[in-house]
Structure 1
Amino acid sequence: MTLRVALAGAGMVSRHHLLAWSRVPDVEIVAIADPDIQAAEQRASQFSIPAVFADPGEMLANAAPDALDIATPVDTHGALIELGCSHHLTGILCQKPLASSLDAARDIVRRLEGRPTRVMIHENWRFRPHFRQIHDWLQSESIGRPRQFLLNVFSSGLLSRGDEAPPALVRQPFMAKMPRLIVLELLIHHLDMLQALMGRMSVRSADLARLSDAVTGEDTATIVMAGDGVFGTINASLSAKGYPARPQDYLQIIGSEGRIVLDGPRLELFGEAPVVLGLDHDQNYQASYDAAIRHFVDALAKGTPFATSPTDHLRILQQIAQIYELGGAV
């Protein structure tokens, strides 16, 4: 049976969504909607989508999809989820974060209680192939029990290049006006990924700063977290001189019997049976969309739980709210 999918949103990220949908068997993208009708028409032309709408309500009423993929600005998520539920869709896939505030996210989750439409948060970082490989090593106890971690995420993306705008804002101009930036927009991925790897943790301390005059929100953070026998630090900045414009992850996990190191294009296991793997981060970026969307389709078909449910995502948003409180940016 073919799953009929409608896509809300024709911005930059929609290309990655549509590439992923095109690689899943028994799926048909039946329509796309965006207030920028030209952007929607362009995506429709690129991916042979038969129907284009400016209004997502008209799209759901006329295209009659089974599922809705939401790739729109965060403040539209709640209304689009409500719209999808009112059309009795089988499933909704919604880009992270569910909402821009914890209270708004709680309200969305509350209104989903008892409704038949299933919702998954599109949190794809944990689906990146190198993090899935780390997960497999941890599950097989290749380094024993994880004890400590260090995650560094640095970029120079918010540093100006002469008269040119900072490259991060050329790529994602909306970030300039975000009152909450690096934690809500970027580190939300890492909070989810780390706990998918090593289990639930709590936030112990957080410091936040804004180093770039080009943005409103914080661009630099240090966060300390701890869980069951494991603790570590997240250090991040989008205004770190000498780093590439795109953020890069450096992750080290130290276990009782070895360690795992992700460093640029290299993933290495130090243990009884050492392993060194090369990575293509651009390829893995798209692969994470592919895997997340395939997981959504498979879970709908089999009736199995989503890896990133709204309830689980709400726990991450609660941690983010705590980070902002501890960091002095409530």
Structure 2
Amino acid sequence: MSLSGKNPGKRLKKLRIITIGAGYFSAFHVNGWLRNTDAEFVGLVDMDTEKARAVLVANGADLNSIAVDSDAIEILRRLQPDIVDIAAPPSAHLGLIREALQNSATVIICQKPFCTSPKEAREAVRLASEAGIKLIVHENFRFQPWYRAIRREMDAGRIGEVYQITFRLRPGDGQGKDAYLSRQPYFQTMERFLIHETAVHWIDTFRYLLGEPDAVFADLRRLNPAIAGEDSGLFIYRYGDGRRAVFDGNRLVDHVAENPRLTMGECLVEGAKGVLSLDGNGILSFRAKGTQRGEPLFSPPSREGFGGDCVFELQKHVTDHLIKGTALENEASAYLRNMEIEEAIYRAAGEGRFISLTEGTDD
């Protein structure tokens, strides 16, 4: 779908955007919208309006041209935005989606974790489908530039037949009683943590790179007694053709990186012709089979923002879809599969076996 009408070469207007929520990660949303030349950022909502204004000021926004309000329903009705960007807690998602569907939104983008349960998520998808409105989940890791580069190299046959992808998550931020308190303190009380909050990014990214797995295995542990949920563990995707994807996560251990939160770890993509290696600085290298040294293939154009500027890239992906009619990723209807796989991972960890992801069968 394009908003440029019958003449795709002529722009009618910039897309009007509001963001709901002004927490830690919302600042990356606001920054991305302000830099998007196809977007007009017109409103920011938070119960704490002073916090919202501080986010705008920190990002150099003109406070005179952006509405700040504590009432999401009022600002939706008053501003009638084209894109509603929901960065509020999951408990608010379904209600805000209902309101956005009634107030002229062309696209709704909703942060992950998406809603409070698969049941709520399916209801949100149903409502958006009935209204004919695109509902997108803000799952941004697949938009990190190194994963786009890995996909290009795989598609071009650089490593030949793909055998395995392994990602080692090592952000080093999970030790001690004060773990996570300075940035996202609610992490400490999440009963499901490593997979639900963090590894879900690789549940999605592995699907982006390799397609749909047939079965999954998991082993999860809690190492830091100061938190409620698991903070260490692994899951394995098994594919019918012999490929595997392995996520190996430990939030207490760090890795070599100027900024340990840039990639959050290291990745290997192994194939018949060689290996792609991603380091902690976002540099992708290739080592051909039988050789001793790798050659750099890719370095991120920016290390500012979050994760190689993946928030901006996801937002640009959405505005390009609306303006140019380009294909759209991350629709909520497809994201439901990530939630199903997450449930299977926790079940696999509880039962100590591979769980089939093929409907109606178990391994």
Instruction: Answer whether TM exceeds 0.5 for this pair.
Output: yes
1:199 shift after superposition: 1.5
Task: Provide structure 2 residue ranges, at least 5 long, that are not aligned to the other structure.
Answer: 1-12, 352-363
Task: Provide structure 1 residue ranges, at least 5 long, that are not aligned to the other structure.
Answer: none
Aligned to 2:285: 268
* Whole-angstrom CA distance in 2 between matches of 1:32 and 1:179: 30
Hey, which of these two has a bigger chunk of helix by percent?
1
Map 1:1-330 onto structure 2 (within 5 A). Answer: 1-45=13-57, 46-49=60-63, 50-160=66-176, 165-166=178-179, 168-229=180-241, 230-240=243-253, 246=261, 248-265=264-281, 266-271=283-288, 275-276=295-296, 277-279=298-300, 281-282=303-304, 285-328=307-350
Is residue 160–residue 272 contact of structure 2 (8 Å, CA) maintained in 1? Answer: yes
Q: 1:312 to 1:154 in 2, by over 3 A?
A: same
* Whole-angstrom CA distance in 1 between matches of 2:38 and 2:328: 19
Is residue 156–residue 238 contact of structure 1 (8 Å, CA) maintained in 2? Answer: yes
* Whole-angstrom CA distance in 2 between matches of 1:67 and 1:284: 21
Which amino acid counterpart does residue 196 of structure 1 have in structure 2? Y
SS in 1 for 2:181: helix
State how many pairs are aligned. 325
Is residue 14–residue 40 contact of structure 2 (8 Å, CA) maintained in 1? Answer: yes
SS in 1 for 2:350: coil
Is residue 255–residue 280 contact of structure 2 (8 Å, CA) maintained in 1? Answer: no
1:286 shift after superposition: 4.9
Q: 1:131 to 1:64 in 2, by over 3 A?
A: same
Is residue 28–residue 305 contact of structure 2 (8 Å, CA) maintained in 1? Answer: no
* Whole-angstrom CA distance in 1 between matches of 2:307 and 2:233: 23
Which amino acid counterpart does residue 240 of structure 1 have in structure 2? V
Normalised by the length of structure 1, the TM-score is 0.91
* Whole-angstrom CA distance in 2 between matches of 1:82 and 1:302: 27
Which amino acid counterpart does residue 92 of structure 2 have in structure 1? T
Is residue 220–residue 234 contact of structure 2 (8 Å, CA) maintained in 1? Answer: yes
Q: 1:140 to 1:179 in 2, by over 3 A?
A: same
* Whole-angstrom CA distance in 2 between matches of 1:267 and 1:322: 31
1:112 shift after superposition: 2.2
1:33 shift after superposition: 0.6
1:304 shift after superposition: 4.2
* Whole-angstrom CA distance in 2 between matches of 1:128 and 1:39: 28
Deviates most, 65-74 or 103-112: 103-112
* Whole-angstrom CA distance in 1 between matches of 2:256 and 2:299: 20
Give per-residue Cα distances to partners, 1:96-144, cap 9 Å, x unaligned: 2212322221222222222122111111101111111111101101111
* Whole-angstrom CA distance in 2 between matches of 1:324 and 1:15: 31
Deviates most, 63-72 or 52-61: 63-72
* Whole-angstrom CA distance in 2 between matches of 1:169 and 1:186: 16
SS in 2 for 1:137: helix
